[in-house]
Amino acid sequence: MPHRVVVVGGGFGGLNAVRALRRARDVRVTLIDRHNYHLFQPLLYQVATAALSPANIASPLRHVLRRQRNVDVVLGNVVDLDPVARTVQLEDRTLVPYDSLVLAAGTVNNYFGHDAEWSAVAPGLKSVEEAVAIRQRLLLAFERAECEEDPVVRKAWLTFVIVGAGPTGVEMSGAIAEIARDVLRREYRHFDPASARILLVEGLERVLPTYDEESSFHARKQLERLGVEIITGRLLSEVAPDHVIVDGGEKEPTRIECRNVIWGAGVKGHPLANVVAERYQAELDRMRRVVVDESCAVPGYPNVFVIGDLACYRDEQWSTELPLPGVAQVALQQGRYVGREIRKRLEVESRGRVYTPPTFRYKDHGSMAVIGRGRAVAEVGSVHFYGFAAWVAWLFVHVLWLVGFGNRVVVLFQWASSYLTLNRSARIITGEPDLSLTPVRSRHDKLAPGDPHANPDVNHSLLGEDAAEELAPPPPTKPVEAADATESERRVETREPAAASSHSGDVPS
């Protein structure tokens, strides 16, 4: 009977663990994920800012693993684990048995105790669905500003608050600033998109707090050149649909009127971490991640591994104080390590020996954050560089990491087009957006009587010319003689209700 390896999560960690087992003898791998695709999360912000489409940064798992014959891909959601029976339970109550288990479920947004109130108002950036929702809000904000005549309300629509000045927050704020300043220039008739206000709020004292101080300084300068307002050393105390309140610390709290808040202030372990803690008596850190040993295994369970963002792993050679960061390189390396060690352990134990795995060591290949077109910061070992050179390095690395040759070609083409034309090809509003808050401009009232566009209650852009003519107000009637008044009034009374019903029932508002 083959050794059964179950991998939960098709991200960087899970996918690389599966790939590392492609040459393993007598091994059967089952990859379980809630989605049927592998997502390149570092580029999610480009979907949210309309630079790329979701398909550009996602690859179907079955296609990626089509040549690896020892893999089964299962679309499912893991809800429970049984360490005694060694089974994984899916949401539909299917039980998947395992001999070795690899958990790479990732993280979710952390609203620090305000999940119920803030999550609907301030979406994060952890999934394709969230990225598309942010894109919708971003583009709709400009559309609503175009129709709004109240300058105070318009200013609120054009105020964007990004919470958290880590790489996600820095990249989002820079991208939104470029959209407002360059991409949308000359596209709106009743306001200047460049008047948009972008605020980046960080609780610590500088942007990119995990980077070197010099890199943080250069990142801040590049953001300020784009017009981003940076608030550091302050936290949000309230997030509402029409405003946020920034805690002042020693100062008075500040209320900011805004209709768009994007969350990038932190993450916590996937809810599966709670199941691991309960079933395997594992320890969780303050970010709800599973604390693992030097082989990325749950203490006391050498055949159960937790990797990537879901794991709290301390590598003293990397840092004596902090666990490894939740970045793609950590997950990728841990996935390769775990897959390789499972294979080695099976080979050694098949010869009757006891296998002791080596300690996992993280190799830091550097950190990069893009700020805008031709703007970035990069740290590779002791070498730090900024501006255009860092931006080119960022492009090269991210294209190299993309899964699938087709995705690499498409993304390169999109980036080249965007760089040369300042356009963002994915700038579309899909689905059924809520247009109830988009007012009709009162300028329609100033049109001449009889003009089919004089009625502000009718959206004539949705109607043909014939329908617009039918809805036009009737021409004024001529004065009538007293003898004919009774008959004329009767004709008017029978005509007016019909006209009213056409406006109220048959025309979309």
Q: Does the pLDDT value for residue 473 go beyond 90?
A: no
How would you classify the pairing of strands 297-298 and 367-372? unpaired
pLDDT digits (tens, 9 = 90+) for 341-366: 999 999 999 898 999 999 999 999 88
Cβ–Cβ < 8 Å for 210, 325: yes
- Burial classification of residue 93, based on how many CB atoms lie within 10 Å of its CB (0-12 exposed, 13-18 middle, 19 or more buried): exposed
Which residue has 């500088």 as its token pair? 206
Burial 430-439 (b: 16+ CB within 10 A, else e): eeeeeeeebe
Q: Does the pLDDT value for residue 327 go beyond 50?
A: yes
Q: Does the pLDDT value for residue 485 go beyond 80?
A: no
Query: Which numeric CATH code is attached to 3-34+76-110+268-349?
Result: 3.50.50.60
Other Cβ atoms within 10 Å of 213 Cβ, number: 11
Which residue pairs, CB below 8 angstroms and at least 24 apart, start in 316-325? 317/361, 317/362, 318/362, 318/364, 323/285, 323/289, 324/362, 325/210
Cβ–Cβ < 8 Å for 354, 342: no
Other Cβ atoms within 10 Å of 109 Cβ, number: 20
Span 66-85, average pLDDT: 96
pLDDT on residue 180: 94
pLDDT on residue 406: 66
pLDDT on residue 405: 58
* Same fold flag, 3-34+76-110+268-349 and 115-265+367-421: yes
Amino acid 208 reads L
Give which of 64, 79, 80 is closest to 14, Cα–Cα. 64
Three-state secondary structure readout of 194-235: HHCEEEEEECCCCCCCCCCHHHHHHHHHHHHHCCCEEEECCC
* N-terminal to C-terminal alpha carbon distance within the chain: 65
Span 126-141, average pLDDT: 94
Span 420-429, average pLDDT: 74
Q: What does pTM read for this prediction? A: 0.81
Domains of the chain, by residue range, sit at: 3-34+76-110+268-349, 115-265+367-421, 443-505
Enumerate the active-site residues.
171
Res. 423 pLDDT band, cuts 50 70 90: confident
Span 158-185, average pLDDT: 95
| DSSP-derived secondary structure letter, 126 | S
> d(Cα 394, Cα 404) in Å, to the nearest integer?
18
Which residue has 């401009």 as its token pair? 441
Res. 437 pLDDT band, cuts 50 70 90: low
> d(Cα 36, Cα 309) in Å, to the nearest integer?
20
One of 3.20.20.10, 3.40.50.300, 3.30.1490.100, 3.50.50.100 is the CATH number of 115-265+367-421, namely 3.50.50.100
Res. 475 pLDDT band, cuts 50 70 90: low
Give which of 482, 415, 355, 473 is closest to 53, Cα–Cα. 415
Q: Does the pLDDT value for residue 505 go beyond 70?
A: no
pLDDT digits (tens, 9 = 90+) for 357-416: 999 999 998 899 999 989 999 999 889 999 999 999 988 888 877 776 567 777 877 777
Kindly state the greatest CA–CA separation across the chain: 118
Q: Does the pLDDT value for residue 502 go beyond 80?
A: no
Angle of helix 388-401 versus helix 405-421 axis, rounded to 10: 150
